[in-house]
Amino acid sequence: MSGAGTAGKIGAAGSAHGGAGGALGGGSCAGAQVLFLIQRSGALFEQPGLVNFGETLPVEASYFGFLQAALAGDSSAAKPYGGKFPIGVSFLFAVRDATTPLPLVCPQFAATAPSLQSDSALVTAFTQGVAAHAALVSAKQKEEAPVPEAIASAVASWSASGPRHLVLITMAMPDTCTQLDGPCGIDATVNAVQVARAAGVTTHVIGLGDHLQFNYLGAEDVAVETGYEEYLQQLANAGSGKPLGPANVEKLQDYACGSAMPATLTATYSATPGDAKYYQVKTATDAKTAVAEILAGVCP
């Protein structure tokens, strides 16, 4: 994988994803490797719930801080697994400013390859993540979230002899490299997870917060208020090879994503959804529990 890069430089965080290839296996878990792929959009640094106008809370009170506490440091949920199997982290993003309609480089990564000695690397990755985000904010540059392309790039560049476990940590609407700030990336992201599964990668899903933008009109135009949860369930099902269920959430794409009406979908849907487990994180405790349970599942 490419290095974590220099804060604030668009290309320095990895214009091409180096992947996890070349990282050594080993440990006591049949050669398994785990890569946490984290959506580093601006929303990751926001605070759960409402805050007073103008109020700035410390980073540890944000979703980013929740993940940092769960993954990095002596009290993290990842600490007991040091030496058991390689663990890495990759922050996905793409950068643009007010004058650029689309990112010039997409996707981008700030990544640390899976390693048996992951403790200090994870601490460094999160420390640099804070600095990089702050530099981009100061430069008035916006971080987008090209999730489907990032999944595809990570999987394509990740070679390992043992089981590969991708932990996708996402929030809000997924962008693509050509469609930003809307529902157009939903189906593409689900499809990317299905393709990853076909390539031998198991994807575990952590969704941050709750997002009303995913809600849709159901039968007889009755509002369905669990669209985000349905999306997370689809991702989890795709990641474990279970049936997705119907493309209800993807109805949001019909009138927002180009000339095709209804939208042309790329993932493979089914009448009945599977029951793969996903995690919805709203607190620091939620984040630590999710990481602990996923890692325990990889190596009991």
Task: Check residue 53 and give its pLDDT.
Answer: 53
Task: Check residue 69 and give its pLDDT.
Answer: 97
Q: What backbone torsions phi and psi does residue 155 show, to the nearest 5 degrees?
A: -70, -40
- Which of 23-32, 37-46, 55-64, 75-84 is least confident? 23-32
Task: Check residue 256 and give its pLDDT.
Answer: 78
What is the tens place of the pLDDT at every residue in 210-254?
A: 999 999 998 888 999 999 999 999 999 999 999 999 999 999 988
Q: How many structural domains are present in the chain?
A: 1
Q: For residue 171, is it within any domain?
A: yes
Q: How far apart are CA 140 and CA 142, in angstroms?
A: 7
Q: For residue 19, is it within any domain?
A: yes
Task: Check residue 50 and give its pLDDT.
Answer: 54
* 28 confidence band (pLDDT: 50, 70, 90): confident
The percent of residues in the chain predicted with pLDDT above 70, rounded, is: 88
Q: For residue 6, is it within any domain?
A: no
The mean of the pLDDT values for the chain is 88
* 52 confidence band (pLDDT: 50, 70, 90): low
Q: For residue 199, is it within any domain?
A: yes
Task: Check residue 160 and give its pLDDT.
Answer: 86
More confident residue, 180 or 19: 180
Average pLDDT over residues 124-142: 94
Q: For residue 224, is it within any domain?
A: yes
DSSP H helices, the chain, are: 63-71, 119-138, 147-156, 186-198, 227-240, 284-298
CB 279 within 8 A of CB 290: yes
What is the tens place of the pLDDT at every residue in 68-98?
A: 999 999 999 999 998 999 999 999 999 999 8
What is the tens place of the pLDDT at every residue in 274-284?
A: 999 999 999 99
Q: For residue 4, is it within any domain?
A: no
23: number of Cβ within 10 Å: 21
- Which of 39-53, 176-190, 204-218, 240-254 is least confident? 39-53
Q: For residue 105, is it within any domain?
A: yes
Domain that holds residue 239: 11-298
Query: Does residue 65 register a pLDDT over 80?
Result: yes
Task: Check residue 279 and give its pLDDT.
Answer: 98
Percentage helix, strand, coil, to 5, in the chain?
Answer: 35, 15, 45
Q: For residue 5, is it within any domain?
A: no
- Which of 8-12, 43-47, 163-167 is least confident? 8-12
Task: Check residue 220 and give its pLDDT.
Answer: 84
Task: Check residue 300 and give its pLDDT.
Answer: 83
- Give the Cα-Cα-Cα angle 282, 207, 58 (nearest 5 degrees): 45
Domain containing 172 — which CATH number?
3.40.50.410
Euclidean distance between the first and the last CA atom of the chain, given in angstroms as a whole number: 27
